[in-house]
Structure 1
Amino acid sequence: MQPGGPREHPWNHPRAGDDQPPLNGWDVAVSAAALVVAVAVASISAVAGLFWLLFLDYCPPETCSAENAWIAVCVALAVAALATVIGGLVTIARIARRTIAWPVACGTLILCAGACAIGFAGYVSATGI
C-alpha cells in the first residue's frame, strides 16, 4: 500500500464507510421526533377507536350504522399504520444513505394524523354524533 493512498481492506476491497459523510445530527433528531410522534398518534388513535367501537351501545338504524363506523375506524387505522411503517423504513434508509430524511418523516406524520382524522370524521358521520 502506498503512503497517502486509499485505505484498503486486507483483501484489497475498499471499506464501506470510508467515503460517507458524517451523520447530520439535527436531521436525525427531527426525523426521529416526527416518527415517534407519528407512532404515538397512531397508537392513541387505535386505543380511542377501540373504545369508540366498544362503547357504541345504542345505534338506531335511522341515524347510525355500526358497520360503517367499524369500517371507517379500521380502514383509517390500517392506512395510518401502513403509512407509518413505510415512512419509517424510507426515513431510516435515507438516514443510512446520509441524505436529508426529515421531509419524509414529517410527511409520514402528516399522513398518519390525516388518516386518523379522516377515520374520526367517518366514525362521526356513520354514528350521527
Structure 2
Amino acid sequence: MQMEISVPALLFPAISLLLLAYTNRFLGLSSVIRKLHEDYQRAPDAKILRQIANLRRRVALIRGMQAAGASAMFLCVLCMFLIFFGLQSGAHIVFSVSLAAMLISLAISLSEIRMSSDALNILLADMEEDLARHEAH
C-alpha cells in the first residue's frame, strides 16, 4: 500500500494541540508548586508536605507525556522524509511507531489527569476536616 506524504502530515495539528495542552498543564502545575513553596516557607504545614509526592509524580508524568508527544511529531517528520525518498516500507514502520508514541502520550495523560483529581480530592478532604472541626466548636 502506497502512503502519501499527506498521511503523516494529518497528525501535525493533533500532535501540536496535544503538546500545547501538555505545556499548559505543566505551566499550571509549576504555578501550583511555586505557590505551595511560598506558603510553606511562610508557614510550614503538613498538608503541603502531603502533596509533594503527588506533585513529583505529576511532573514526571507530564515530562513523559511531552517526550512521547514530541517523539510522535519527530517520527511523523521522519516518515515524511522516508516517503519523499521513496522508502515506503520504512515509512509504514515509522508511522506505526509514531502512532504508538501518540497513544502512549495519551495514556500517560489519562494517568496524570487521574492524579490531578486525586490531588484535588486531598484538598477537598482537608477542607472538609477543617469545616467539621470548626462546626464542632
TM-score (norm 1): 0.56
Q: Which has the larger radius of gyration?
A: 1
1:92 maps to what in 2? 80
Residues 68 and 104 in structure 2, CA contact (< 8 A), matched pair in contact too: no
1:121 to partner: Cα distance: 0.6
Gap runs ≥5 in structure 1: 1-23
Larger relative contact order (CA 8 Å, sep ≥ 6): 1
Aligned residue pairs total 104
> What is the alpha-carbon root mean square deviation over aligned residues?
3.3
1:75 to partner: Cα distance: 2.6
The match for 1:50 among 21, 27, 36 is 27
The match for 1:34 among 11, 31, 41 is 11
Residues 11 and 76 in structure 2, CA contact (< 8 A), matched pair in contact too: no
Secondary structure, counterpart of 2:78 in structure 1? helix
1:107 to partner: Cα distance: 4.2
The match for 1:80 among 38, 51, 69 is 69
Q: Distance in 2 between matches of 1:40 and 1:52?
A: 18
Question: In the alignment, is residue 65 of structure 1 matched against residue 54 of structure 2?
Answer: yes
Secondary structure, counterpart of 2:50 in structure 1? coil
Q: Deviations over 1:64-89 (max 9, x none)?
A: 6222221221232123213422x034
Residues 64 and 108 in structure 2, CA contact (< 8 A), matched pair in contact too: no
Relative to 1, partners in 2 of residues 1:117 and 1:54: Cα closer, same or farther, differing over 3 Å?
A: farther
% same residue: 12
Q: Deviations over 1:63-122 (max 9, x none)?
A: 96222221221232123213422x034212212222434664364244224324314414
Secondary structure, counterpart of 2:4 in structure 1? helix
Residues 71 and 101 in structure 2, CA contact (< 8 A), matched pair in contact too: no
Relative to 1, partners in 2 of residues 1:46 and 1:99: Cα closer, same or farther, differing over 3 Å?
A: same
Q: Is the helix fraction higher in 1 or 2?
A: 2
Secondary structure, counterpart of 1:95 in structure 2? helix
Secondary structure, counterpart of 1:98 in structure 2? coil
Amino acid at match of 2:25: A
